[in-house]
Structure 1
């Protein structure tokens, strides 16, 4: 079986095209094929298939698509179920995209070695695999995500092929093609330079100069900038009729090396950082000493202060990393976490200077493995600290780990990142009462804090000692310097308005904790919502099983996954029991009231009451 994505998404056997009915099945196949043998999570598949409006039966439909695809593939390929998603295993040459990438890489290598005949053939063969607009027939979500990078890759290979043809003296036949290309992409400088050279070699000097002036006008009107120094040099060469500069043997790639910068891309640490002495000592030891582990993972629930700690540590150990400090927000808690390839592009942009960005005239490799190799090459011999903030999981982080032993990595995430090999881990809990009170006192001022110590302690307690909630309360105290602390403490006592009180400007506890509810599976989200109906401080696995109306083994799996995601807490002294953080319970309680019917809620509570009285 052969899969085609460089045009309409198609599946072919040895002789015929296999019918793929519906855009959803084509999207499912293309999503797996574009992952190059890696697992595509259920969450990603749901987003690609339905964007922000998945049906209640989304998980069942995905299983159906997997089953249908297995039937179409037969024995020639395998669709594996690997939690948390699916993986397609096919031969590399059975996907047209991998064939395109292989031919393009070979053509570029030949071009770099000045074997222009071989380069022109390989690059032409790569482009011949395209049958129109990539990913035709899939959902808009997948097309919007993947089509731009595929089209960019095609354009870069087209420009390389034109360079090879110019080196072979084929300038006359290239003028119409380059004219169309420049018209379609007026701000790309490389085809503009190639058109200028082709026109010059055809004896059309005035047209070559006009092409430059048109480009300068477009850049000035659209971006307010001038053409690059390289293009201006080419313009001067045409003006001066420098034939040697413009001979077929001369390169028209406009690639010039630039020194690698020393990136300093850390956001500032919080000015009111408080407490966390043990965690600070551990993290400084892990990252500040050459003999210690160089990957440190800070994990915990949303709002617990992972980013604040990571930035404080990164600034404190910065001197141990003289070649740069980089921060990347992986957006693990959002609807669309950063893909590893996107994160690598950010890192390479910071590390590699212009030469990294201009590899293939602005085109970095799009295959994650190739990006990872380039990233690790850039870090070789350098000591750089990488802060990977808000990771969604190990699969997102692994390609971003440096190969260089002198580099350090700080990762923050809501999951425990237990499978991240060789990482030192710092699980972060809410504040100790004294830490929360100290932070509140800094905002309230020493006189107010001393006047109402009981109210200060009560505010901290009603925040569940969660740092983000404490900061939100501190902001309220700053905004109302003449109000007594007891007034805020009383307002926090109302369970129906506590989350409203904990929303101040961009400090929004409800929004941060609600991010954790975007679990990939609908059954997990429902379990979390329903468990919030239990009023006891903690609950047993048996009680959860009765409430959810699920077998014990299945309930155990749900509870374990919710604990792993820091949406529930294990009770240290009672390993058979679990509990909510009080603010997480408040968010879940809002959700259960909004998203579940009163009949379903009543039935769940009635099952528990009946079981307890039986």
Structure 2
């Protein structure tokens, strides 16, 4: 049959009508099944329906798809598509080929992702936007939220959001497209990524994570040698880690490079940073104090505990009994200290206990981050300023002296039923002025230290998980079927992790995000003690970062003792062996080992008198730090 004067637009409309009829049944079925579609442009351009990848093959097809996605629902003109697909080398059949790409994508993507012909071009729209994900939109949303949190001084939240945003990148943006599209669109996308990364580093520098960031910043500068902000961040990180000479050398190298390559001088902001380093001692920013208050329905809620909370039944019951005043306990202390090494779950336990005691302390529940992981945590006076502000005391009524602040703070709490959670306490001097000392109030303190000199305080030491608890947590994260199928390997993973909850959670998160991995594959990657800490990092969870503050807080002599003891491996050793290795008398060796036990970097062996063992991950940390010393 001959159809006179059939235009390209008419042909497109006829084709779309036929295609909609063909796929209507599939669309309804997918909607009933909770079907979802995901698109990627921050990496190799691609698409997925559910967990099934759609085969978008060839640079032209990827370019056509990416051009429509980047338009965010706007019409992309034929002229624009021609330029992105062929630049100036246009074939004679451009219009027909564009129609072919549109037709192929329709057949690949299904009915929910609709490509319509709208002169002068094409438009990409979705019938069910709540079931469609585009990694670029997710990145931009999270990056904007992280930038807002950074501007408002919520540094931990900013770090989490920005790291989450950066995790949306799976390689260079617009992978597999034509050079024409890449040349036009990649620079702005890469600039957005670098800006988010730099903001994330700003947040983490504010949290005092100087040493961890040095490697990342060095790599960033190698990739972007003329970018100024990473240079400033590296100078701050080096200076905050006590490497002031190296920080000053970074400035000199950058000034020379600028002069030789582009004939410019450093900015005034960079020169001011250089001058401040020259004229000051190494600086460590104060830890962020975050307060949550529960007084009525409209107030901010405490952060949620993990839905897969595991174990700790005895410790939870003990803390609740201490703070709630259960019958049969005489002279009940109103304060309870939960101590243990970083990553063992002290904060999570405190949040769980707080929820269980909501009715016991209905007036207020205050959670204060005391920043004990930092080299210079905030003093009691600074914390009291924040507490009094949250308790509604006007700034002009807050006295100057710490003693007067303590008195006002305790008067404000008098007659209330308030639970105060002092998280990550540094020492007794920081905590003692914060104790309410009034009837009806309770205090739950978490710390790496036992805080042994705090009077009238119950103490709970939180140790690693039992093997059964490790298996339970791992199973809750990755599914019991996987841990059951490879039970011996799952136990091997838990043992390498020293049954430390945060390490188990990192392993579980990595396996959950890689369902195609066997447990043996991860276990093999964890086998080398020299690289195990590199493997135990995912998202914003970093085992090395959690363990390092305990090691860094030691004296030079104790750090040296840990490095020497690491030669014995993570097994059990007798105190006499330690004395010989450390070249100390047995009495002095006992003192050193006891200090390391108090710092949760060494454990007494309960099965043998005068025997100790270096936990697996502390052994790995010691090897890591020993290598850094050799490089330095």
Count of paired positions: 351
Report the Cα offset of residue 139 of structure 1. 7.2
Residues 404 and 578 (structure 1), Cα distance of their counterparts in 2 relative to 1, 3 Å cut = same
1:559 and 1:565 mapped to 2: Cα distance? 10
Secondary structure of 2:367's counterpart equals strand
Residues 142, 469 of structure 1: CA spacing in aligned structure 2 closer, same or farther, 3 A cutoff?
Answer: closer
Give the TM-score of the pair, scaled to structure 1.
0.53
Counterpart secondary structure, 1:389: strand
Aligned to 1:547: 581
| Residue equivalent to 1:73 | none
Aligned partner of residue 551 in structure 2, secondary structure = coil
* 2:547 is equivalent to residue 358 of structure 1: no
State the distance in 2 between where 1:429 and 1:536 align.
17
- 2:316 equivalent among 271, 280, 288: 280
Distance in 1 between residues matched to 2:282 and 2:529, nearest whole Å: 41
**1:523 and 2:557 aligned:** yes
2:337 is matched with 297
Superposed CA deviations along residues 482-512 of structure 1, whole A, max 9, x for unmatched, are 2222211222222222211111111111111
The answer to whether structure 1 residue 580 and structure 2 residue 587 are counterparts is no
1:332 maps to 2:369: no
Say if 2:354 is the partner of 1:314.
yes
Correspondence 1:198-277 to 2 at 5 A:
266-277=302-313
1:532 is paired with a residue whose SS is helix
SS of residue in 2 equivalent to 1:425: strand
Give the conservation status (yes or no) of the 8 Å contact 1:323–1:383. Answer: yes
**What RMSD, in angstroms, separates the aligned Cα atoms of the two structures?**
3.0
For the 8 Å contact 1:379–1:403, the answer to whether it is kept is: no
1:53 aligns with 2:90: no
Contact kept, 8 Å, 2:602 with 2:614, in 1: the verdict is yes
Unmatched 5+ stretches in structure 1: 1-49, 56-137, 147-259, 599-614
Q: CA deviation at 1:51?
A: 6.2
Tell me how far apart the structure 2 counterparts of residues 144 and 300 of structure 1 sit (CA, whole Å): 24
Contact 1:265 1:326 in 2 (8 A): no
**TM-score (norm. length: structure 2):** 0.52
| Deviation digits for residues 248-302 of structure 1 (CA, Å, limit 9, x no counterpart) | xxxxxxxxxxxx9666563221221111111111111112236643211111111
Aligned to 1:422: 456
Matched with 1:123 is none
Cross-structure match for 2:387 = 347
Segment drifting more, 321-330 vs 572-581: 572-581
Q: Is the 8 A contact 2:240 2:283 kept in 1?
A: no
Q: Indicate conservation of the 8 Å contact 2:389/2:395, yes or no.
A: no
| Residue 510 (1) aligns with residue 544 (2) | yes
Residue 473 of structure 1 corresponds to 507
Q: Is the 8 A contact 2:569 2:619 kept in 1?
A: no
Task: Provide the rounded CA distance (Å) in 2 between the counterparts of 1:447 and 1:563.
Answer: 37
Aligned to 2:181: none
Select which of 430, 437, 446 maps to 1:403. Answer: 437
8 A contact 1:386–1:409 mirrored in 2: yes
Q: In the alignment, which of 522, 528, 531 is matched to residue 494 of structure 1? A: 528
Contact 2:337 2:459 in 1 (8 A): yes
Change (3 A) 1:519 1:554: farther
**Counterpart-to-counterpart distance in 1, 2:570 and 2:543:** 23
1:353-391 alpha-carbon deviations (Å, 9 max, x no partner): 1xx23225xxx3342222211111111111111111111
Distance in 2 separating the partners of 1:365 and 1:139: 32
The DSSP-based 3-state class of the residue aligned with 2:415 is: coil
CA contact (8 A) 1:416 1:565 kept: no
